[in-house]
Amino acid sequence: MNLYEHTIVARQDVTSSQIKQLTEKYSKIVKKNEGEILQTQNWGLLNLSYIIKKNKKGNYIHFKFKGPTKIISDLEENESMDKNLLRYLTVKVKKFDLETNYFDIKDDNEKKKSENQNKEKN
């Protein structure tokens, strides 16, 4: 079984219920093709580097899964027809980092605590 990281970018005007539907839809495709989803992250609404189909922002959803290669062609075939998606990207990886969420929103107190802990370690 291969390990994959898969990110989809949905339009900025997609509702939270539609995002859940997209997540479930593509999770089912992975499971249908004998794959296993290890982690799903909703990165939220982020600025795009350039305008895509009249959108300046996009809702990012990130999947980490393992499975056979045939999953990728099935996923991308469905995604190319989905009007709610702007872009998608699949990357084959050697191992996963399941602990770090790079797009977690921390409040100011948590940031200060983590900075202090890093200073103490050095």
Mean pLDDT for back-to-back runs of 10 residues, the chain (122 residues):
92 92 93 92 90 92 92 92 93 84 59 56 55
pLDDT of residue 108: 46
The confidence score (pLDDT) of residue 6 equals 94
Domain count across the chain: 1
Which tokens hold the place of 98? 């399941």
What's the predicted TM-score (pTM) here?
0.78
CATH code at position 115:
3.30.70.60
* Domain with 26 in it: 2-95+104-121
